[in-house]
Amino acid sequence: MDIRICIDVDDLDRAIAFYTQGLQLTLGRRLGADWAELLGAGSAIDLLAQEAGSPPLGADHPQRRDFRRHWTPVHLDFVVTAIDDAAARLVARGATLERPIQHRPWGRMANMADPWGHGFDLLEFQGRGYDEMLSPS
């Protein structure tokens, strides 16, 4: 089974630049004026242009899209090899580093938000990665 990740943004060209230059993903296809496919992660990422204030599930839905920082129980983790460089590239393109890069038993992690308020993490594995949390090798 494949999975596709969809991210709503209000400026498609800026989002393409943010994710391709900041995370070194590549533009796959433009599927119309409001949809772009990014490649280079474990799954395709679709950027979908949506207007701020528009309803996510039809006109009667009480919620509206808001591209300020928000929290959701689902977020993306991007595995990188040089976390300091990746975080700096993303901040230069409008991301927020929400707290200093943390050291974990499995490596390092940067908690970030993109310019549309979506939280995400950068992970840089060291040693055996998550297996460092299991019994010693």
- Residue 41 belongs to domain with CATH number: 3.10.180.10
Q: Does one domain contain both 74 and 25?
A: no
Domain membership flag for residue 20: yes
Which range among 36-40, 52-56, 93-97 shows the weakest confidence by mean pLDDT?
A: 52-56
Q: Does one domain contain both 136 and 75?
A: yes
- The end-to-end CA distance of the chain, in Å, is 32
Give the number of domains in the chain: 2
94 Rama class: left (phi>0) / alpha (psi -120 to 50) / beta: left
Q: What is the pLDDT of residues 65-80, one digit of tens each?
A: 999 999 888 999 999 9
32 and 26 in contact (C-beta within 8 Å)? no
Q: Does one domain contain both 133 and 89?
A: yes
Residue 22 reports pLDDT greater than 90: yes
Residue 14 reports pLDDT greater than 80: yes
Q: Does one domain contain both 134 and 76?
A: yes
Q: What mean pLDDT value characterizes the chain?
A: 94
**Exposed e or buried b for every residue in 28-66, given b needs 16+ CB within 10 A?**
eeeeeeeebbbeebeebbbbebbeeeeeeeeeeeeeebe
Residues spanned by the domain of 78: 69-137
Domain membership flag for residue 108: yes
